[in-house]
């Protein structure tokens, strides 16, 4: 069973065992597979838009550049919004909120599309 789960996640049985025993934590590259396997995002996305953007990028295990493309904005926009350097434009905010809403525990469409 561990071999099947590890294969589905894209990890080794040894890695899976280490995670189960809290000897190590999964690297970011394994998060999309773990989320697909579980069927939900196993952590909160945060309250503010900047927190949610950072967490969503981590959940997708993607670069800021790729995440920006997913959001339909420039990479520098994501950088500024993650750090709350400015208030996002309403169109940019709506797009980000739509993408983030699709990361809700019962909706894995963004993860499936982008991984």
Q: How confident is the model at residue 110 (pLDDT cuts 50, 70, 90)?
A: very low
CB 64 within 8 A of CB 75: yes
pLDDT of residue 32: 83
Query: Cα–chain-centroid distance for residue 83?
Result: 17
**Residues listed for the chain:** 115
Cβ count near 43 (within 10 Å): 11
Q: Decide if 15 contacts 27 (C-beta within 8 A).
A: no
Q: List pLDDT tens digits, range 21-63.
A: 999 988 878 888 888 888 887 777 677 777 777 877 777 777 8
Among 75, 78, 76, 85, CA closest to 56: 78
Give per-residue pLDDT as tens, 52-78.
778 777 777 778 888 888 888 888 888
């Amino acid at each position: 069973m561990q071999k099947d789960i590890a294969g589905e996640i894209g990890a080794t049985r040894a890695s899976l065992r280490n995670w189960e025993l809290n000897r190590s934590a999964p690297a970011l590259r394994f998060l999309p597979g773990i989320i697909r396997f579980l069927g939900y995002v196993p952590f909160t996305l945060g309250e503010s838009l900047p927190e949610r953007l950072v967490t969503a990028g981590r959940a997708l295990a993607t670069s800021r550049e790729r995440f920006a493309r997913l959001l339909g904005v420039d990479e520098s926009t994501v950088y500024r919004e993650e750090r709350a350097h400015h208030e996002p434009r309403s169109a940019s905010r709506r797009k980000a909120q739509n993408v983030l809403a699709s990361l809700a525990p019962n909706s894995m469409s963004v993860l499936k599309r982008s991984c």
